[in-house]
Amino acid sequence: MKTLLIDNYDSYTHILGQYLWEVNGEQPITVRNDSLSLAEIKDLEIDSIVLSPGPGRPERRADFGVCMEVIDALPETPILGVCLGHQGLAARFGGRVRHAPRVAHGKIAEIEHDGTGLFEGVPSPFKAVRYHSLLVDDGDLPADIEITARTRGDGLVMALKIKGRPFYGVQFHPESIGTEHGRKILSNFRDIAAQVARSRRAPAAGAGADLDGRGRGRVRHVRLPWVDPERAFAGLFADAPYTFWLDSSAPGADGRFSFMGSAAEALESRGEHLTRRRAAGPEAAHAPAGATGSPFAALRQELARGAVAPSGLPVPFTGGLVGYLGYELKEHLGFGATAHGARALPDSTMMIARHILAFDHVERAVYACASGADEPPLPPAPSAEVWLDEIAARLRDLPELAEPTLAPVPEGFADRLAVAQHLSRREHLDAVASILADIRDGETYEVCLTNEFRVQTSLSPFALYRVLRRVNPAPFSAFLKLPAGAVLSSSPERFLAVDRARRVRSEPIKGTRPKGATAEETLALRRELAESEKDRSELLMITDLVRNDLSRVCAVGSIDVEQLLRVTEHATLLQLSSVVTGALRDGKGALDALEACFPGGSITGAPKHRTIAILDQLERRARGVYTGAIGYLAFEGTLDMNIAIRTLVADRDGLSFGSGGAVVAESSPEAEYDEVLVKSYPLLRAVYLAELAEGSGSMPEPGPRPARASRG
**DSSP per residue, 226-268:** ---HHHHHHHHTTTSSSEEEEE-SS-STT-SEEEEEE-SEEEE
* CA end-to-end distance (rounded Å), the chain: 46
CB 21, CB 13: distance < 8 Å:
no
CB 678, CB 709: distance < 8 Å:
yes
In a domain, 226, yes or no: yes
| 382/377 Cα distance (integer angstroms) | 6
Q: DSSP 3-state helix, strand, coil percentages of the chain (rounded to 5)?
A: 30, 30, 40
User: Which of 280, 330, 276, 272 has its CA nearest to residue 302?
Assistant: 276
Of the listed 173, 181, 221, 609, which one is catalytic? 173
| 112/126 Cα distance (integer angstroms) | 7
CB 675, CB 711: distance < 8 Å:
yes
In a domain, 386, yes or no: yes
Q: Is 413 helix (H, G, I), strand (E, B) or coil?
A: helix
Q: What H or E segment, with its residue span, contains residue 440?
A: helix 425-440
The number of angstroms, rounded, from the C-alpha of 239 to the middle of its chain's C-alpha atoms is 32
| 16/173 Cα distance (integer angstroms) | 9
| 336/594 Cα distance (integer angstroms) | 18
Dihedral angle, C-alpha 539, 543, 548, 551, nearest 10 °: 170
**Is 448 known to be catalytic?**
no
CB 625, CB 410: distance < 8 Å:
no
In a domain, 45, yes or no: yes
| 652/432 Cα distance (integer angstroms) | 31
In a domain, 142, yes or no: yes
Domains identified in the chain, total number: 2
CB 327, CB 630: distance < 8 Å:
no
Using DSSP, how many helices (H) and how many strands (E) does the chain show? Answer: 16, 32
Q: Are residues 282 and 154 in the same domain?
A: no
Domain residues for 618?
A: 218-696
Q: Are residues 535 and 656 in the same domain?
A: yes
| 648/29 Cα distance (integer angstroms) | 43
Dihedral angle, C-alpha 337, 340, 345, 351, nearest 10 °: -10
Helices 669-696 & 425-440 angle (0-180, nearest 10):
140
Residues of the chain with confidence (pLDDT) below 50: 198-214, 282, 284-287, 289-291, 697-712
Q: Are residues 222 and 187 in the same domain?
A: no
| 687/673 Cα distance (integer angstroms) | 21
In a domain, 706, yes or no: no
The phi, psi pair for 353, rounded to 5°, reads: -105, 100
Query: Which are the contacts of 147, defined by CB distance < 8 A and separation ≥ 6?
Result: 138, 141, 157, 159, 160
| 276/11 Cα distance (integer angstroms) | 34
Q: Is 286 helix (H, G, I), strand (E, B) or coil?
A: coil
Residue type (1 letter), 302: E
**24 φψ region: left (φ > 0), alpha (ψ -120 to 50), beta (else):** alpha
Q: What is this structure's pTM?
A: 0.89
CATH number at residue 465: 3.60.120.10
**What secondary structure letter does DSSP report for 331?**
G
Residue type (1 letter), 81: G
Query: Which are the contacts of 520, defined by CB distance < 8 A and separation ≥ 6?
Result: none
Q: Are residues 156 and 252 in the same domain?
A: no
Query: Which are the contacts of 430, defined by CB distance < 8 A and separation ≥ 6?
Result: 669
Kindly report the CA angle at 495 between 505 and 289, in degrees rounded to 5?
A: 100
pLDDT of residue 378: 53
Q: Are residues 62 and 136 in the same domain?
A: yes
Radius of gyration of the chain (CA): 26
Q: Are residues 336 and 461 in the same domain?
A: yes
**Is 175 known to be catalytic?**
yes
Of the listed 14, 26, 67, 83, which one is catalytic? 83
| 274/349 Cα distance (integer angstroms) | 10
Of the listed 26, 175, 493, 675, which one is catalytic? 175
Report the half-sphere exposure of 465 (CA within 13 A, side-chain side). Answer: 27
The number of angstroms, rounded, from the C-alpha of 31 to the middle of its chain's C-alpha atoms is 23
Q: Are residues 143 and 254 in the same domain?
A: no
> What digits encode the pLDDT tens for the residues 445-481?
999 999 999 999 989 999 999 999 998 999 999 999 9
| 14/51 Cα distance (integer angstroms) | 12
pLDDT of residue 375: 56
Q: Are residues 409 and 550 in the same domain?
A: yes
* CA dist 179 → 107, 118, 131, 573 (Å): 10, 15, 12, 30
pLDDT of residue 595: 97
Q: Are residues 304 and 191 in the same domain?
A: no
User: Which of 359, 155, 349, 379 has its CA nearest to residue 269?
Assistant: 349
In a domain, 705, yes or no: no
The phi, psi pair for 433, rounded to 5°, reads: -60, -40
Q: Are residues 157 and 244 in the same domain?
A: no
**Is 286 known to be catalytic?**
no
Please name every residue paired with 56 in a beta bridge, in sequence order, or none if there are none: none
pLDDT of residue 280: 72
Residue-wise DSSP of 594-620:
HHHHPSPGGGTEESHHHHHHHHHHHH-
Query: Which are the contacts of 281, defined by CB distance < 8 A and separation ≥ 6?
Result: 379, 380
The phi, psi pair for 74, rounded to 5°, reads: -125, 65
Q: Are residues 104 and 183 in the same domain?
A: yes
In a domain, 701, yes or no: no
Give me the count of residues in the chain.
Answer: 712
CATH number at residue 115: 3.40.50.880
In a domain, 457, yes or no: yes
Q: Are residues 226 and 176 in the same domain?
A: no
**What secondary structure letter does DSSP report for 146?**
E
